[in-house]
Amino acid sequence: MTTTGPELWAERLMGNYGIPPLTFVRGSGTELFDDAGHRYLDFLCGLAVTGLGHAHPRVAAAVAEQASTLIHVSNLFVTEPQLEVAERLDRLVRSGTDQDQPGRVLFQNSGAEANEAALKLVRKFHGRGRHGVLSAFRSFHGRTLATLAATGQPEKHEPFQPLPEGFRHAAWNDVAAFEAALDPSVGAILLEPLQRAREGSIRPRRASYETSGGYATNGASCWSWTRSRPAWDGPGPGSASTTPASGPMW
């Protein structure tokens, strides 16, 4: 009797998300195919990682070309693609804003690590006493200890207590609640332009955008939009996702 992928998973991998029911063997465009030959329309996009689809020939060719030249070196050294991507990201982020000065890019392996870096910068800049972070209830910012503390889902906190201190939450779209939570101990606000959770999507009202944005200069000096879903699903004003799309690739 042949052992299935889910059975092997149960034997060899941690069950952090339970045991997956399907084993995918290939993808093409917007579709996935499992080991039984069934075809699926992929609405998940690898949790926002495969937004360009599966096995696109241009992407595959670019990966193959780079792999035949240089796959990886430590970030203690310079590579040309690193510089090119940093410049393009900076240009995209500043597009449509009044920012003339170039920014600086810090490459990370995941969204959680990017948020960790932002939280470290808050503490490095302000020091003890103004290291608090304000985020929204039902938000998601990552699964490391600090980003989990920033995540506004108390049921996810409980198994991993004690979490780092200095994090508080207010209801998204409740301007009064955010104003009440903001005091001199808060050094940063961490928000999603489109809050996505199991319950569905929550789009911020314009008043929430404008009031929360004002905190960046009037209260918290560090201000960060974070995303846990595809950027094109809910662009915020002034974000990189406001850059016009170049048309479908498929």
pLDDT in tens, 111-129: 899 999 999 998 998 888 8
Tokens of 21: 């029911």
> Would you state the pLDDT for residue 174?
85
> Would you state the pLDDT for residue 47?
76
- 25 and 91 together in one domain: no
- 221 and 192 together in one domain: yes
> Would you state the pLDDT for residue 111?
87
Of 53-62, 145-154, 184-193, 205-214, the least confident: 205-214
pLDDT at 21 over 50: yes
Confidence of residue 228 (pLDDT cuts 50, 70, 90): very low
- 62 and 185 together in one domain: no
pLDDT at 235 over 70: no
The tally of domains found in the chain comes to: 3
| Domain assignment of residue 103, yes or no | yes
pLDDT in tens, 128-169: 889 999 999 989 999 999 999 999 999 999 999 999 999 999
Q: What is the CA radius of gyration of the chain?
A: 21
